[in-house]
Amino acid sequence: MHKDIATPIRTKEILKKYGFSFKKSLGQNFLIDPNILRNITEYAGLTEKTAAIEIGPGIGALTEHLARSAGKVLAFEIDQRLLPILADTLSPYSNVTIVNEDILKADVGEMVEKELTGYEDIMVVANLPYYVTTPIILKLLTENLPIKGICVMLQKEVGDRIAAKPGTKEYGSLSIAIQYYTEAETVMTVPKTVFMPQPNVDSAVIRLIKRDKPAAEVHDEEFFFQVTRASFAQRRKTILNNLTSQLPDGKQKKEGILASLEKADVDPGRRGETLSIQEFAKLSNELLPLFK
C-alpha cells in the first residue's frame, strides 16, 4: 500500500518538490484528510466493475482512492502545471487516464466511449471547484451520458440547495433542475479545516443517483426549466406575478397565465417555493401552448 497523498506533510512535500502555487481562479483547494476521501469513495459505491470519472484531480489525492476501488479512472484536469505532478503521484496506478481538458468544453460522451466501455456502472466522483459546480453538474446530467450517478464534494450551501425539499428557503430552480434528473441527498458535511488552502466555507458531499426516467412528464424540457426559473425570480412574489413579469410578453398574456394556473390546480397567490416538481410540470405543460 502506498503512502496516502492526502496528508498535510505529503501534500506540502509534493507542492514544494514541484514549486506549485495555488491558482485562485481555478478554485484549487486540496483535501488533506484520507478518511474523508475513503468516505467519499465508499458513498460512490465503487467496485472493480465500476469506472469513475473525476473532475479536477489536483495532485491526485482523491484519484488514488478511486484507483484503489474502481476498475478504471478517467480524470479531467484543466491545469497543465499539474500533469507532471499527477504522472508522478499516480505512477503506482495503471488504471488512471488523465485528460488535460476543461470538463465544460470536453466531449465527455466521446471520452467515455473511448476509455470506459465494458464497465457495469460509471460514477462521477470529484472534489469540484466551487466556482463552476452548478454548470458542471448540469452539463453531466443534460448531456445524457451513460452514468449511474454523481458523488461530489461542493460548497455546503450549494449542496443544501440541490437537495432541498419544497417549502424550504433553500428550494429553488436549481433543486428542481437536478432533482428532475436524479434522487439527491447530502451524505456528509465537511469542515473547511481539511483543505489546503482553507476555503472560506464549509463543504458537503452530495450523492445524485440518476432516475430511470425524469421525475415528471413534461412536453418541453427547455420551457419547463424556463417556467421554474421565472417562478423563483423574486422569491417574495406570487407565482402569478413572477410569471407575468418574467415570461416573454407575460403582462399581455396575464389572462392566459391565470387560466393555465387554474387548469393546473395552482393557486395564483402561491409562491414558487411551495410547488413540487410535479406541479411545475403540470403548470409548464398548460402554459406551453400560450408561449410556443
Tell me which residue range forms the domain holding 203.
Answer: 8-210
DSSP string, 137-164: HHHHHHTT-S-SEEEEEEEHHHHHHHTP
- Residue after which a domain boundary falls, among 210, 231, 248: 210
Give which of 237, 260, 241, 263 is closest to 250, Cα–Cα.
241
Residues 45 and 177 in one domain: yes
For residue 2, being part of any structural domain is answered with no
If one counts the domains in the chain, the total is: 2
Residues 47 and 143 in one domain: yes
For residue 61, being part of any structural domain is answered with yes
56 assigned ligand-binding residue: yes
167 assigned ligand-binding residue: no
d(CA 30, CA 64): 13
Q: What are the tens digits of pLDDT across the range 165-195?
A: 999 999 999 999 999 999 999 999 999 998 8
Residues 169 and 51 in one domain: yes
For residue 3, being part of any structural domain is answered with no
Collapsed DSSP state (helix, strand, coil) of residue 225:
helix
CATH number at residue 162: 3.40.50.150
d(CA 212, CA 170): 26
For residue 1, being part of any structural domain is answered with no
- Residue after which a domain boundary falls, among 177, 210, 243: 210
29 assigned ligand-binding residue: yes
pTM for the model stands at 0.92
Residues 280 and 200 in one domain: no
77 assigned ligand-binding residue: yes
Q: What are the tens digits of pLDDT across the range 17-48?
A: 988 877 766 667 788 899 999 999 999 999 99
